[in-house]
Amino acid sequence: MANAAMGTANHGAARKLVDRAMKVPLLTLERERDLTRRWHEDGDERALQELIAAHGRIAVSVASKFRGAAVTFEDLVQQGYVGLLKAAMRFEPSRDVRFSTYAAWWVRAEVYDCMLRNWSMVRVGSSANQKALFFGLRRLRSRLDDTLDGDDMRQDLAKRHGTTLAEVEAMEQIALNQDLSLNGPVGEEGSAIRQDNLVDGRASPEDVVMFSRDNETRSRWLRATLKHLPARDQKIIRDRHLSDERRTLDDLGRELGISKERVRQLEQRAIATLCRSAVSARRSGMPA
């Protein structure tokens, strides 16, 4: 509900911007020349305001090409007005050029730069070729989805903009995909966030420390208990359970001069003794 209300409010603000820009009448050539002269020769700020207001539709037109992008429509329109102001500051009334023609370039430059600055946390690029490639890829979005000629188009873009295919593919990942917040909702209900799906399956640092301490404690218990076993039982436990290469009952029987069944019986007895000693040590509060 909150998102819907915000979207309605944003739509209303955008509508007001468009209506305000479109209601200002177009200037005649004579009126335009009079305003630019008054501004440049006399510094008349009222003339400047009227000149910019009359060309606000240019800012709206350029910003409209990027509706639904990373930057809001209102911000793009405001940036377009910055372009109009820069155009008014640099326009030379003596040249036989309409102000709208001159201003359109500045408006596009400001809106495009705003898009590039805010599109992604990854720096898109500042060179003229990279900027042209960014917007070229956005214009060709639907055609690039066609796997039949997508590779050929990428090759053509690389050649046209003086870059490599790898750079075109890297820019494509940025230009055609927007950043996603880990705190953004997942699904229509929005009850979960993307961060919930990034749970680390590994043990936590606390668990790692506790596991390590437990292992050290068990090792001390085992070493202390082994000392109380007969030498033959110690050898059986070490060779059967504490060695990298576990020996067989038959192998140990031949070495010790007893049957493999007797080795098995001694092994079970030793293990039972170790278990009882470990429990006893734990109950007595043996230091970790």
Looking at residues 215-235, what average pLDDT do you find? 82
**pLDDT single digits (tens) 59-76:** 999 888 876 566 788 888
Q: Is the pLDDT of residue 88 over 90?
A: yes
pTM summary value: 0.48
At position 230, the amino acid (one-letter code) is P
Question: What distances in angstroms separate CA 142 from CA 3, 9, 68, one per listed residue?
Answer: 29, 30, 16
Could you tell me which residue, 2 or 226, shows the higher pLDDT? 226
The CA-atom distances, in angstroms, between 86 and each of 76, 108, 117, 122 are 15, 12, 19, 28
Judge whether 55 and 103 are in contact, CB under 8 Å.
Answer: yes
Q: Distance from first CA to last CA of the chain, Å, rounded? A: 56
For residues 14 and 93, the model is more confident at 93
pLDDT digits (tens, 9 = 90+) for 130-181: 666 666 665 665 555 554 456 677 777 777 767 777 776 666 666 665 655 5
Indicate if the pLDDT at residue 231 is higher than 80. Answer: yes
287 pLDDT above the threshold of 50: no
Would you say 253 and 262 are in contact if contact means Cβ atoms under 8 Å apart? yes
Q: What is the pLDDT of residue 150?
A: 63
pLDDT tier at 12, thresholds 50, 70, 90? low
Lowest mean pLDDT among 108-112, 113-117, 173-177, 217-221: 173-177
The pair phi, psi for residue 102, each rounded to 5°, is -70, -45
90 vs 40, 84, 93, CA distance in Å? Answer: 9, 10, 10
